[in-house]
Amino acid sequence: MGSVSRWAVDRPWSAVGVWLLMAATLVVLAVSLGGSYNNSFSLPDTESTRAQTLLEEIPGASDAFTVATATVVWSPDAGEVTEPEVSEPVTALLTTIADVPGVACVVTPYGPPMGTGCPEQLAGADQAGADQAGAGQAGAEDVPAEGAGDSAAPDAADLPAMSPETARVLAGLGPAGFSVDGRVGFATITFGADLGDLDSADAEAVVDAVAAANGVDGLRVGASGQALDYAGQQPPSSEAIGIVVALIILLFTFGSLVGAFLPVFSAVLSLGVAQALVLIVAKFLDVATFAPTLAAMIGLGVGIDYALFVMNRYKQALDAGREPRAAAHEAVRTSGRAVVFAAATVVIALLGLFVTGIAFFNGLGAAASLTVVMMMLGATLLLPAVLSLLGRRAFAIRMPWARRARPGQPGGAAFARYGLWLERRYRVVGALALVALVVVALPVGALRLGFTDDGGRSEETPQRIAYDLRSEGFGPGINGPFVVAVETAAPGDNASVQQLAVAIGQDPGVAAAIAFPMAPDASVTAMQVVPTSPPQDAATTELLDRLREDVIPAATASGAVVAYVGGTQAITSDFTSVIRGTLPLFLSVVIGLGFLALVLLFRSVLVPLTGVITSLLSLGAVMGVTVAVFQWGWLANVVGITGTGPIQPFLPIMVFAILFGLSMDYHVFLVSRMQEEWGHTGDNRTAVRRGLAASGRVVATAAAIMISVFAAFMLGDDSTIKLFGLALATAVLFDAFVVRLVIVPSLMYELRRANWWLPRWLGRLLPKVVVESEEEVALVEAEIADVPDAAGAPGARL
């Protein structure tokens, strides 16, 4: 990129034109080829995958799994749902929803289905609630079963009497119905498209109609379903808060309105193009619905930081007396190279997600890494061209607090004094910082992984209202049933399937086990197992383990049937197991490549080793905070968390990939100046102190900006984005301000000359890579000239 950046400085209008042409091309491709987002998982060689594969053999099941559906749930403040005061406004609401262009059918318990796309077999759906309530241990919901009732079923005398809990759960199954106590009703919406093709406007129309009805006429109304996740996928408006805070920080950093605006300008324009790239990636890979927001979070953070590093070096060169174009060349030759190297480390870490073999991670890794690449291009192609065009006007409209720097004095005496202060007491300060991080990391021992559900949303959202109402009316397990795929040795052997349902239903953690009847020539069916506990409860995970390890193996020992447990909670368990299995390879690849890159850059063994080990320390502290807030509920009100539960299983590995790349960024920007000073003076203490003086301020500023951007995303309603916002904000806080500015310098003071040791044979093999050139040493001389070293005079050698 060095030659490209120099060309951008020398031919700024051409560079701007090329960048705009590239941006326009990507936007056009995104519009014409862009795919759709989905939260699908592909977990090879797991029981949940085997269950899914088996269920797809049921006629019509594939359509049931992919069609976009949602559930509307309601309850009056007083009275029952069958009263006219309730049925009339709810029927009006469902009629409004049925009129949404993308809605094919609405199945209501108050009468015949509404809509032009309702299947003929739903003509009698107004009796669904009553029929299901008397269905015993058999029922029908999403998975169709042709010829139901044609094959032999067990005698009623062989089945246990239906418990009140089972009757309560059965009332909540099917396309529409009422709770046993008459307090809760529900209806099913079927859209005219699959999840992958659903128009978000249709989902938004349903959510808006439900939200408008909630609280009117004494009704609580909510709606849930993956289809409604497509409503409002745009990045949250809270990102504007992060941008405003970043602008304020930049105003104090540069003392110029234009200077503060340019890094944000570069990042925002680049992010717009990056979002087009993410949409293109979704055409070829599975990209999660929250990926655009996550990409925006990462993109804004690194984009502003990368531009800041280039702008800061440009300003230093101007303050040192360089002409504007020469200053721009110096900025891209030094900080520009550092930005490219830093972006490469982030991309390597993110692409390391591909080694997990999980398609979900592939999409996230590709989307995030391409976003980082686009941010890097903005800082090394677009920004240098703009700086070349503006010249000294890049720092126009000066603020009252801005001071004019004298040539050779770019500022940084505060961090020079800090470096001296740390040098005199680095053992105590470094030990205290280390102990603090270990203490913060202690909650990680209680980490419990699991997917969030609607129970973790804000209490005012339609999804949370529906979740709570379904729990009240039909039991907490109704929101997260297991789906058991059953295959019989003999076609139509419903008796064996029912015996398995009875065995499963006898577990104290099971509220109901409902088997779907098979046709005489069929050998595959499904069974819903509804727990007595909520989806996120630890008891539900324990039930899954008992079903897989004890109950089902004992019940299928005869060989008459085989059964595999699937469903969301089963996928969570399998997802966690797959991650644990691939984690050693992932860590080896990411940490190994990062270590080798740092060895190549610093021509040292201990400096890279310090960098990678301390990044693991930062991760531990981050996960400790995440567990304390999202799992234990500490400071939940401050963060805006309305429900606690397990941590998303993909969070630790995603956060480490992002954190490792960002921590190596700060390590490079900080230690590269120390390396430069070591080569110039041969004095380790002077090198560390001068490195802090020259780079500490910009690293602290960059970290503050990134924290503000990440923290702003915590203000939205999406629990997954809140989780990432908190994790990444605390990651940067700990890694930049505690690890890079305290622990790493303390270790380098302690290790002395050993920091820069490299075996001679390895030194001969490695090519020389330089991020900062020696000609810039003069820029920091004045910063420390007035600050004595620990011996009272500069240059004391070790």
DSSP string, 530-545: EESS-TTSHHHHHHHH
pLDDT at position 772 is 53
Residue 788, pLDDT above cutoff 80: no
* Spatial separation of the C-alpha atoms in residues 772 and 451, rounded to whole Å: 45
The reported pLDDT for the residue numbered 1 is: 63
CA proximity to 658, closest of 598, 603, 590, 580: 590
Q: Are strands 561-566 and 482-488 parallel, antiparallel or unpaired?
A: antiparallel
Give the whole-angstrom CA distance, residue 289 versus residue 270. 21
- Where b means 16+ CB within 10 Å and e means fewer, 376-414 reads bbbbbbbbbbbbbbbeeebbeeeeeeeeebeeebbbbbe
| Percentage above 70 pLDDT, the chain | 86
Tens of pLDDT, residues 17-76 = 999 999 999 999 998 887 777 777 677 788 998 998 898 888 766 556 668 899 999 999
Residue with tokens 């790493």: 744
692 is written with which tokens? 């802090």
Residue 150 reports pLDDT greater than 60: no
Is the pLDDT at 488 greater than 90? The verdict is: yes
pLDDT for 278 beyond 90: yes
Does the pLDDT at position 185 exceed 90?
A: yes
Q: What is the pLDDT of residue 122?
A: 53
Q: Quick one: what percent of the chain has pLDDT higher than 90? A: 47
Count of C-beta atoms within a 10 Å radius of residue 458: 16
Q: What integer pLDDT is reported at residue 236 of this predicted model?
A: 52
Q: Got the DSSP string for 47-100?
A: HHHHHHHHHTTSTTHHHHHHEEEEEEEEEESSS-TTSHHHHHHHHHHHHHHHTS
Sign of CA dihedral 35, 39, 45, 48: negative
Tell me the CA distances in angstroms from 783 to 370, 740, 795, one per residue in order: 38, 20, 14
The confidence score (pLDDT) of residue 56 equals 85
What does the pLDDT average to over 769-798? 45
Report strand pairing: 177-178 vs 103-107: unpaired
Q: How many helices (DSSP H) and strands (DSSP E) are in the chain? A: 30, 9
Question: Residue 563 above 90 pLDDT?
Answer: yes
Kindly state the tokens that stand for 445: 């021992």
Residues 384 and 311: their CA atoms lie apart, in Å, by 9
Strand partners, 220: 75
**368 vs 132, residue with greater confidence:** 368
End-to-end alpha-carbon separation of the chain, Å? 38
Diameter of the chain measured on Cα atoms: 97
pTM of the model as a whole? 0.77
Q: In whole angstroms, how large is the CA radius of gyration of the chain?
A: 30
Q: How many CB atoms lie within 10 A of CB 496?
A: 20
Q: Residue 43: phi, psi to the nearest 5?
A: -115, 100
The pLDDT score that the predictor gives to residue 61 is 64
| 692-704: burial string, b at 16+ Cβ within 10 Å, e else | bbbbbbbbbbbbb
State residue 38's pLDDT score: 75
Read off the pLDDT of residues 496-537 as tens digits, 9 standing for 90 and up.
999 999 999 999 999 999 998 988 999 999 999 999 998 888
Q: For residue 785, which of 706, 690, 675, 665 has the smallest C-alpha distance?
A: 690
Q: Mean pLDDT lowest for which of 149-153, 459-463, 548-552?
A: 149-153
Q: Does the pLDDT at position 79 exceed 80?
A: yes
Return the minimum-mean-pLDDT range out of 170-174, 365-369, 530-534.
170-174
Model confidence pLDDT, tens digit, residues 401-444? 776 655 444 445 788 888 889 999 999 999 999 999 999 999 99
Digit-coded pLDDT (tens) for 328-342: 998 888 888 888 888
In 410-554, beta strands by DSSP E? 482-488, 510-515, 524-531
pLDDT of 129 above 70: no
* Amino acid letter, residue 616: L
Residue range 746-774: average pLDDT? 81
Q: Cα(331)–Cα(779) distance, rounded to whole angstroms? A: 13
Residue 142 has pLDDT above 70, yes or no: no
Amino acid 578 reads V
Average pLDDT of the chain to the nearest whole number: 84
SS3 246: helix
Closest CA to 615 of 655, 674, 582, 673: 655
